[in-house]
Amino acid sequence: MEKSIRIYYLNMVMLIQVKDKKIINAQEYLDFFLSLNDWEYEIKPYKRTRSNDQNRYYRLLLSIVEKETGISVEETHEKMRMKFLFVPESWTQLAYCKSTAKLKTNEFWEYIENVKNFMAQFWIILPEATKYENWF
């Protein structure tokens, strides 16, 4: 299985392909890093943020809710964010609401499922993503 990892160096981001736990073209990357004077690197697994297709599907769901309830897409979006992405105040941070734009793809799917389940409580049945699979 092929994965990607990002390596951050100063203001540069390198996307490195990994297959079967081995870096593809590893010698090229090794030569590059050896040519640098600094030897402090940060390597993190690459996680995609939500896709444009996910966003279109989500906006479609919100527009259906708007037609059913009369509540605007923007207002529904804000209410759902507050309901499902609110992080309460603690000793170390103030309360805030996460941005859907910064959610990873799997987190955004969870959020969409939460919205769909919540709307189903009010008999607003929203379509499954598979109906729009040509978007993904």
Over the stretch 33-71, which tens digit does the pLDDT of each residue have? 777 766 666 666 666 677 788 888 999 999 999 999 999
CA dist., res. 50 & res. 113, Å (int): 14
When divided into structural domains, the chain yields a total of: 2
Structure tokens at 125: 């049945």
In terms of residue numbers, what domain contains 38? 2-45
- 116 and 83 part of one domain: yes
- 75 and 131 part of one domain: yes
- 38 and 60 part of one domain: no
Concatenating the DSSP letter of every residue in 10-41 gives: TTEEEEEEEETTEETTHHHHHHHHHT-S----
- 63 and 122 part of one domain: yes
Mean pLDDT of the chain: 82
- 58 and 94 part of one domain: yes
Q: Could you tell me if 36 and 9 are in contact, meaning their C-beta atoms sit under 8 angstroms apart? A: yes
- 123 and 63 part of one domain: yes
